[in-house]
Amino acid sequence: MKKNKTQGKLSWRRDDFERLFGFEGGRYLKVGAIPSCLMGAICSVAFYVVLLYLPNGPFKEMFTNRGWTQYAVVALGFWTFFLLWIKTRKIKLQRKPLKLPILPNDPDFVLTVKTVDAITNQIALNADSPKDFIVYRRIIQTLSNLRNIGQVSDVDALFRSQAEQDENATETTYSLISGFLWAIPILGFIGTVVGLSSAIGNFTSVLNASADISELTPALKDVTAGLSTAFETTLVALSVALALQLFSTFVRKSEEELLDEISDFCSVNIVSKIRVEGNVPITPYERLETGE
């Protein structure tokens, strides 16, 4: 049986989590809204199906008998969770190239215009589409400009510029997540206002309709129900927002560490190996490559 040439290679098109389920997939660390929304919707429905089979109690009533804001908080909470969770999968995939070598197994190797192909060929062996990985894209873009670079410091400056661009690009991937983390507590406060309004309205009705103090006790049940809605909607929303904010913090930290690791990888494997042509004699490795 003939072995597939791409077998064993890194492949963003094959291994990206979103593409596994037939979606286009966000490039690099970007997460698509549709797959995370569908996963959040499925889990939200499953959560309420489970609640249907639970015995009646405070926990069940907290989610099913406190107004529409609870349903919205649960839906947005699951959606945000999967946005962050899929991001962790993408970070893991982008970290894989850092474990693979890109330099020839030669201690005398020096990177010049004449030996660039040695690195690009190794990168091509590591991944079937190198530009789908942040670290390989940085290296390929830099090496393609190597002929126009006058000093090693120019290479380092080019890598730093690309690193800043990647950092700015990753910030935009949190736009939807930040919006949801802002909206969830607001929904809780809306539920609080609705609950207090209901409680105050019911209390006013009770006072107007009941002349006897003994008749107030059963009528106050509607008032306490409104107060329960007011406080429990805020409790649920703030708890969900807190958990997701902590999760988001850990994901951001992991993403920042990835970008730092990529910068270190480029510095160790590219910047430290570069010699501007004319500043060093031709090495034995270059003679082998060029046939001189």
Tell me the three state secondary structure of residue 229: helix
pTM of the prediction? Answer: 0.80
Domain range list for the chain: 12-290
pLDDT tens-digit readout, 119-128: 888 898 998 8
Measured distance CA(72)–CA(14) in Å, rounded: 34
Q: Cβ(81)–Cβ(248) under 8 Å?
A: no
Measured distance CA(210)–CA(268) in Å, rounded: 82
Query: Directed axis angle between helix 216-269 and helix 152-172, to 10°?
Result: 160
**List of residues 6+ apart from 169 with CB closer than 8 A:** 28, 29
Tokens linked to 282: 């031709």
CA 264 to chain centre: 22
What amino acid is encoded at 118 in this protein? A
pLDDT of residue 279: 44
pLDDT tens-digit readout, 255-273: 999 999 998 998 888 888 7
Asked if the model's pLDDT at residue 46 lies above 90, the reply is yes
Q: What is the mean pLDDT of residues 107-112?
A: 78
Asked if the model's pLDDT at residue 252 lies above 90, the reply is yes
pLDDT of residue 73: 92
Measured distance CA(107)–CA(119) in Å, rounded: 14
